[in-house]
Amino acid sequence: MVLIFPSLANAAVVFETDFEDVADWSVTRPVATGTGFPATWSQNVTPPNPGPPKKNDGSWLWNSSWYRAAPRQVISLDTPLATVGENQGVNNTRGMTYNIEVSHDYSTGWSGGSPFTMYLGDDGYHELYVSYRIKYDPAFDWLPDAPVSASQQKLVFIARVNELLTSSTSVDDHSSPTSPTQPAWLPHWMSYISSQPYYQSFRNRSYRSDGQIVAYDQTQDMYSLRPEFYPQGGPYAWPEDGGWHHYEYHIKMNSVSGALDGIQEVWLDGVKMFTKNNMDFVMAGGSTTKGWNYIELFDNAYIISHSYTENVVYPLYIDDVVVSTNYSGLDYIVGGADIDAPAAPSGLSVM
């Protein structure tokens, strides 16, 4: 099956939801192997059950979407991977919850997957802004008392699928150099306890068009290595107050292959915390014709504060998700009267 999308290249708001028109939804974790694309894809030949979120009118929240779920890691506590419903959003409105299992070490696995993944069409966008409001459970604890390794969480995954999306496309393969999802950007939270005191930091993990990773020393706060990336100075730290915070990510493809002018930026509560404007996402000899067309809200998390035998699961609450070609900002109101959001794509055909 092949999906053909109409051009959305001139749109401002590509997608937005405050979950108020989204139906109640819950996804269980698989028992053994992971579940993802294409089994949970909204456009799969065999409709998934359950599939990704739907609106109250029965249409998909996004017409080409899916979720990715890893097997349960804790011993006996069986929580859903993700839910949509009342009292999960800002001010106890409707929202989404992503439940993060705590497994303690790599041998017992990651709390895996994404509650919502979107394919934006073959052409994609040369420039995208992805924003959301999230709240970590006030009890969320990244690290144990004794010095051991680190915890980490992928905050968003933005990539380019380099082939027309079909049921055989390997879009769940994120790290292989031969994966079709290159280039890519995976902003992380990283929390280290290899030395005292431990620190929380931002990790800017990226892949170029040939699958080559662009990362920095994982045992040091990135600010100490490249302070010029931090407009506010000092480490970009995880908010620990248990309240709602607004995150926005900006990614722009380099102008031509090999050019060192690709952009990555991050805002926290309307303040720019990270900026990098010299990325050669597409290396010399490649093509920048196709833009960014693949988004995952969050991805795997690896939290080591408790053993998997303790059955600890931390909820992460999500609301006001916006994908746009322009900066949205802290004060943007999803569905507000001053917003000219586009209609759902028309002309979609299945082959």
- pTM of the predicted structure, to 2 decimals: 0.88
Residue 261 pLDDT > 90: yes
- Record: fold of 3-350: Jelly Rolls (2.60.120)
CB atoms within 10 A of CB 300: 19
pLDDT one-digit tens code per residue, 32-78 = 788 899 999 999 988 888 999 999 999 999 999 999 988 887 877 78
Residue 17 pLDDT > 90: yes
- Percent of the chain residues topping a pLDDT of 90: 49
Domain-by-domain residue ranges, the chain? 3-350
Residue 109 pLDDT > 90: no
In the three-class reduction of DSSP (H, G, I as helix; E, B as strand; rest coil), residue 179 is classed as coil
pLDDT of residue 106: 56
CA dihedral 319, 320, 323, 324 (to 10 degrees): -160
Cα 315 to Cα 8: distance, rounded to the nearest angstrom: 34
How is 209-266 classified by DSSP, letter by letter?
Answer: TTS-EE---TTS-HHHH-GGG-TT-S------SSSEEEEEEEEE--SSTT-S-EEEEE
